[in-house]
Amino acid sequence: MKDKLPKGWKETTLNDVCDTITDGTHHTPKYEDEGVIFLSSKNVTKGQIDWSDVKYVSNDLHKQLQKRVSPKINDILLAKNGTTGVAAIVDKDLIFDIYVSLALLRPKNEILPKYLLNFINSPNAKEQFNSRLKGVGVPNLHLREIREVSLNLPSLDEQKQIVSVLDKIFEKLDQAIALLEENIQKLKQLNESVLDNIYGSLESEKVKLVSISEFEPKKAEVKNLSEMDCSFVPMAVLNERKINFYPQEVRKISEVYKGYTYFKDNDVLLAKVTPCFENGKSGVAENLVNGIGFGSSEYYVFRPSEKVLSKFIYYFISRQSFLIEGAKNMSGAVGLKRVTKVFIENTHIPLPSISEQQFIVAYLDQTTEKSQKLTQYYQNKLEALKRLKNSVLDSAFKGELRRAKVIPITQPVIDPYFARTKSFNAKKKADKQAMVIALAIEAHEKVGKSLYRTKGEKTVEVIEKHIDLDFGREAKKMAAGPAAFEHLVKIVEPLAKEKRWFSVQEVKGENYDSHKYIKAENFNAFMMRCVLDLKPYLQEIRRVIDLFANMKTTHEAEVVATTYSGWNNLIIRKIQINDEAIVTEARENWHDSKLKIERQEFFNAIEWLKKNNLVPKGNGKEVN
């Protein structure tokens, strides 16, 4: 530590400022279901002691272990193998024992325990620890090397000032870091649930995965191409939970033919060995040299038939439930366990049509890309905060942080993905309305029609009240029937255009212009979301949409929707209801333009609603 020290500071070593530097028992104890707490380095991984997941030893063994070391409050525990260099302060006055993976440092009176703790967790201490790591495989710190670590030490009064400043700064930093880590974890959980929900909700026939793909294709098909170049893909190249991978090595087929796994473009790769399998190492081969690849012998390969898409297989084997089940079906020695072929051969996958697979894959591509970008954004913020924390610690132990100073720390905002703010809820409501419109676009296309704005609005009005949903709209009594055109035109349609779900095309007419809905590039992916998000009501929503799609004219839809909402109004007002009252509300009490429509059409609409199980229940808001 060659930096010039402030006046009153001295350079010293951990050995000089500690009464004791030792470690726990070097023998693996016999664990008990209860007894005295026993800690190891796994309990000190994030700068604090995890008391929630501890082991226990008997009281008799404890009496022997405490002869070597008996931890007490304000001691420092330092992980000296595994997650090396991470320290935590003993913050509870408990009786416990420690394993050899933990060093115990007991500070002298000349150094504050929290000053010592902050130093050990500083970049300077980490650098010294790393330079002293010993051993092959799992490196560890020896007590002698720990004792030799140097540090700068001010007076006790100045230590108190530094600790006070660090406490204030770290309170904000740690809150921000915790929030970012929480958001990253929530994103991971969300991704896992999306995959499991999609494949779990498919009602298609389930078939064996190996019946719709060639499992472990034979390399004999490239045997005569020995001098041809191919891509080489070691395990390190295959990504965790990312569909793409990018081979950098090119080799002759003759060099890799023996001892390596063969695959070609469009094949699906899955790591079969622990921990790569559990971590989700898999992908789809693309842009291989000459379309051919060889790689680790620890890959399983699936070559899709014409019945299934590569990406559909990839997302299926990326599900958390598949990984958990596969981990239960491993064989081999500890550390070299592999998922068995029997498990793969007995795995069943739902098999929808190719067009439905395309919907699903398009949706998952879109959500995965958004999730990865958002995760990377959070990771970048997290790394920046950790660098700031290290910078503060570095300054503190050079004597450059002697008084509290303001460090701007921007608290990360919980992303709208999770935050239930007003604007987010409004957007989600608009999402739902856009979903109903998308389903209606699809239904109209199936019967050779296009969906126009006015008919779409009538469909939305009836579905919103019939299913008892809330799209955030407030329908008014208009010439064209119940409608919330301002909400539709200013919120829903712009959102659909921005997300490229669908757009509106103006169609010029002799007497008036109309507005037709046109599918956009993300329509298919959005349809997959519709199916998932509206799942509890999807069957009934589609039934109602089909009824409107089969109507011959928009005029018919206007009369039906107006009658429905007029009837619903009376129920909300708790007025005695009969057919005459319904027609009066839907015609005479609606809009002057409705007087041009024969009353019998409204009476017919009442019978149509009854016949099609669309009798209103008084849901939603009254249309005024």
Beta bridge partners of 295: 233, 261
Query: Bridge partners of 338?
Result: 273, 331
Distances (CA, A) of 462 to 540, 548, 561: 12, 10, 6
Cα 596 to Cα 480, 531, 593, 599, 603, distances in angstroms: 12, 40, 6, 9, 15
Q: Determine which of 65-69, 388-392, 437-441 has the lowest per-residue pLDDT on average.
A: 388-392
In the predicted model, what is the mean pLDDT of the chain? 91
State the residue for tokens 């842009």.
287
Fold match flag (10-154 vs 206-351): yes
- What would the mean pLDDT of 274-293 be, rounded to a whole number? 97
- CATH code for the part of the protein at 10-154: 3.90.220.20
**pLDDT at residue number 426:** 54
Least confident of 15-29, 123-137, 165-179, 506-520: 123-137
pLDDT at 7 over 50: yes
Instruction: Give the Å distances, CA to CA, from 469 to 453, 464, 472, 621, 624.
Output: 20, 5, 9, 11, 19
Task: Please say whether the beta carbons of 35 and 57 come within 8 A.
Answer: yes
pLDDT tens digits, one per residue of 183-198: 888 888 888 888 888 8
Element (H, E) at 305: none
State the pLDDT confidence band at 85, using cuts at 50, 70 and 90. confident
CA angle 524-484-543, nearest 5°? 50
Lowest model confidence (mean pLDDT) among 234-248, 304-318, 412-426, 444-458: 412-426
What's the pLDDT tens digit per position in 537-557? 999 999 999 999 999 999 999
Q: Which pTM was predicted? A: 0.65
List the domain boundaries for the chain.
10-154, 161-203+354-414, 206-351, 422-611
What are phi and psi for residue 107, nearest 5 degrees? -70, 145
- What pLDDT is recorded for position 527? 86
Nearest-angstrom CA–CA distance, 402 and 165 = 8
Say if residue 507's pLDDT is above 90: yes
Report domain 206-351's class.
alpha beta
Distance CA(84)–CA(492), nearest Å, equals: 54
The pLDDT assigned to 567 comes to 97
* pLDDT exceeds 80 at position 383: yes
What are the structure tokens assigned to 448, written together?
A: 């050779």
d(CA 599, CA 609): 16
pLDDT at 137: 52
* pLDDT tier for residue 297 given thresholds of 50, 70 and 90: very high
| Residue 593 confidence (pLDDT) above 50 | yes
